[in-house]
Chain A
Amino acid sequence: MTKEERLKKRHQAEKRFRFYGITSIFVALLFVVILVQNIFSKGSSAFKKTVITTEVFFDQELLEIQNGASQEEIMDADFYDIMIENLIKAYPAKDRDEEDELLKLFSGDAEIEIKKAFLNDNNLIGKTITLDLTASDDIDQLHKGNYPRDLPEERRRISDFQLVIYDYFVENKKISKNFNNYFFNNGDSRDPELAGIGGALVGSFYSILICLLLAFPVAVLASIYLEEFAPKNKITDFIEININNLAAVPSIVYGLLALQILLATIQLPRSTPLVAGITLALMTLPRIIIPCRASLKAVPPSIREGALAVGASKFQSVFHHVVPLALPGTLSGTIIGLAQALGETAPLILIGMVAFVVDIPSSPVDPSSSLPVQVYLWSESAERGFVEKTSATIMMLLSFLIVMNFIAVYLRQKFEKRWN
């Protein structure tokens, strides 16, 4: 091999090496794109729901209430017969079996939706109005194009006759897509068309709030102690080792801790945001202390010495001068820690947040779900409609995380002082 050939080979090796580097970065970036694209393409349809425009006639004989009835009377009245009578008119069905199949195209809440319309206007007796009633999950998925209709009938959830009705609806423009208010307002449900993340949103909010209230003050105080006051001794070293180790303990171990101490020993109520918040606070504490200490450490000693020189006590120099300067870094570290806590699932599963909760929690001691746990729960469900609901929940979760991280970066860039 001549000198030139060897040099050429070495330069080729150089190029290859660079290429590997670029490819690796590219693969990592590509995966981010694939993941986000996949979730968005599956989830964006969940923000709309399919509705069937139906004429509803309020027959006094079936309802047995008067115009201008009070709220309690309406709540007690039976709207079931009204619902049946009106829904079977949506399509000219021939016999009972066909009527049954027709009724299955509407959601389980059709009766409640009719009742709500009457509650809004209690002078509807003897009148006919047009209502947009939520369609069942099967029709919903079919209308959104998530469900193939060319399968053989026995492998489809929708019968041939129901397809005929669906085509009739489409032809007569009786079927359309509305904003999916149920997705944001409702709690969990066995029926995908009625299931929503309202309960999970409130549950996550309470959990993160409790986590913030517990973890932030303790983390700030602990880091101030360790950074500013702690003497160099065995106890301080031991605390530091503990904090570093706790930050690396798998999150599921915190779930076991909560199960044994908070639930079995102290007997706090299961499946509640209170327990979730305490668990998440224990978990995020070391993860907040580490950035807090870093931002305290970044404040130059001249600030402290200046304060001490004009007669401030050690306490005053720390609380009047060092802490305010370190605050932006502290806050952004806290927000990033909270963002991690918001996406944490495993410990919450162990403390029973996987329970099926329909009601939206009204306080932190009500059983509830949380956003990531809702993702886990729905991803285990067989119904096709839950796939888009899960993806949409992930979209909500990711957007919260993006907002939180953005705030953290903004705080740091806008308010943090550079010292050199």
Chain B
Amino acid sequence: MNIVLIFLITIFSVSLFFYGKSKTKTISIKDNIKLNALPKFYGYYLVLWCSIPALVFLLVWSLFEPIIIKSIIIETAANQGAIFSDKNEANLIYEKIKAIHLGTYFGDIDSILRESALAYAKFINLFTNSKVVLIFAIIIASVIYSLKKIKNNNKARDDVEVILKGLLFVSSLIAILTTLGIIFSLLFESIKFFSVINIFDYLFGTNWSPQRAFVRDASSITAAEFEELKDAFGFIPLIAGTSFIAFIAMLVAVPIGLFSGIYMAEYASIKVRRISKPIIEILAGIPTVVYGFFAALTVGPFFRQVGENLGLTVSSESALAAGLIMGIMIIPYVSSLSDDVINSVPQSLRDGSYAVGATKSETIKQVVIPAALPGIIGSVLLAVSRAIGETMIVVMAAGLAANLTINPLESTTTITTQIVMILVGDQEFDSPKTQSAFALGLTLFIATLILNYIAQRAVKKYREKYD
């Protein structure tokens, strides 16, 4: 239905374009008046007025229609005598009613369901009809308005440009809307979570075992269950595991990335630079699921084998394997950023150092790096925020159980792994387990936001210093 409507709107718009263009031309020739804009702008003007209000209306309507119909249908079903104790059961009944309407339901149909399905069909019909009528009303109203305008020989180009400028502004607002969407969707579920679990139990608890909260309704919780829930969502092991793996990753990425950045900025010939820089940047372009596969199937078992030969017990999901591979993924972030930063250190500082007899490496160690330090720290912080937000490598190569450990050969888990594990497969909303994933997401979002903010500030301050 929507596709037909969009098609119709398009046809109207295109025909209005040609109508407007030729109409204004004939008017100007017949009445011998000078138009305020080229004829085609009158066409554009009509097109914009015909399509934008109708399309916006259609979008908004399509977003809200299912929600409104659902609440109406659940209410009518309840009035008919359908019994459901919570939201999940209500959803189930709604899905059944929908399936009966579409003819894809093959279970038993009782009178309540049949009546509701009829009501559903009625509402769908009503909504579709009113949608079509309203859209045509909108099109007719806006076309009449705009036709009147062009008959009065308005400044069509200026008006078109004002509308288009509005369109440009709205596009740039989508970034703000996305941020708002992220914040609201994370906060909404997190608040529900923290109404059941005390925020201090979450932040300072040392035990993470969300499976205890599975299939349990948050609203009807007994005192004993509450005690048990209290220490099921301790955040400490997760942040410990995340930081630990990120730390191992940085142990790999910082020296390799920094040294290759320095080499490329200070030593490498243009030819070497032109070849090696893109190849190192390939590392950043490889999808992380590929690294995860490599870490889980090759590196993990390899470390385990090596450990066995040395007489060590190495978990096949060791933090070491995940951290190492993550570090390799991060190398290009460190190297290309520090390369940029070092390049923007003014040549005069180096020349001064050479003039008093320092060698190249002494100049780099004692002049260039101290001068570039804020920028380098900024790039390392950006890399850290990458590392803690990275998901696939740890999902595939790190463990699932939350262990508090500092042994790199054991398995640990991370924030992102837990989010995926909780939300994969069937989830029920309104269980503290599902909500905890959003709380973790919120924590992750805030942590990366702070890191990025500090890093960007550092890099910006540094840039300003030498501009």
Contact = CB atoms under 8 A, between A and B. Distances in A.
Interface of A: 10-11, 13-14, 16-18, 20-25, 27-29, 31-32, 35, 38-39, 217-219, 221-222, 224-226, 229-230, 238-239, 242-246, 248-257, 259-261, 264-267, 282, 285-286, 289, 313-315, 339-340, 342-346, 349-350, 354, 372-373, 375-376, 379-380, 387, 390-391, 394, 397-398, 401, 405
B392 interface: yes
A286 B438 CA distance: 23
B297 A20 contact: no
Contacts of A349: 395, 420, 423-424
Contacts of A387: 297
A229 B168 contact: yes
B36 interface: no
A343 B286 contact: yes
Interface SS majority for chain B: helix
B259 A246 contact: no
A17 B173 contact: no
Contacts of B283: 28, 31-32
Contact of A35 (B63, B294, B423): B294
A16 B359 CA distance: 12
A199 B179 CA distance: 33
Interface SS majority for chain A: helix
Contact of A345 (B63, B161, B263, B288): B288
Interface of B: 63, 66-67, 70, 157, 161, 164-165, 167-169, 171-176, 178-179, 181-182, 185-186, 188-189, 255-260, 262-264, 267, 276, 279-280, 282-283, 285-294, 296-298, 328, 331-332, 335, 359-362, 364-365, 382, 385, 388-392, 395-396, 416, 419-420, 423-425, 429, 437-438, 441, 444-445, 448-449, 452-453, 456
B255 A260 contact: no
Contacts of B420: 252, 346, 349-350
Given A221-B167, A229-B168, A379-B396, A372 B359 contact: no
B423 A375 contact: no
A29 B276 contact: yes
Contacts of A245: 179, 449, 452-453
Contact of B262 (A13, A21, A248): A21
Contacts of A267: 66-67, 70
Q: Which 6 A-B pairs have the closest CB atoms?
A: A250-B389, A343-B287, A21-B263, A260-B185, A17-B361, A225-B168
B467 to A, nearest CB: 16
A38 to B, nearest CB: 6
A398 B452 CA distance: 29
Given A18-B361, A245-B452, 13 more contacts: A20-B259, A29-B276, A222-B168, A225-B172, A242-B176, A253-B186, A314-B161, A342-B287, A346-B420, A350-B419, A373-B289, A376-B292, A397-B287
B307 to A, nearest CB: 20
A230 B175 CA distance: 15
Contacts of A14: 359-362
Given A24-B259, A225-B171, A372 B287 contact: yes
A315 B169 CA distance: 14
A405 B168 contact: no
A401 B287 CA distance: 9
A29 B279 contact: yes
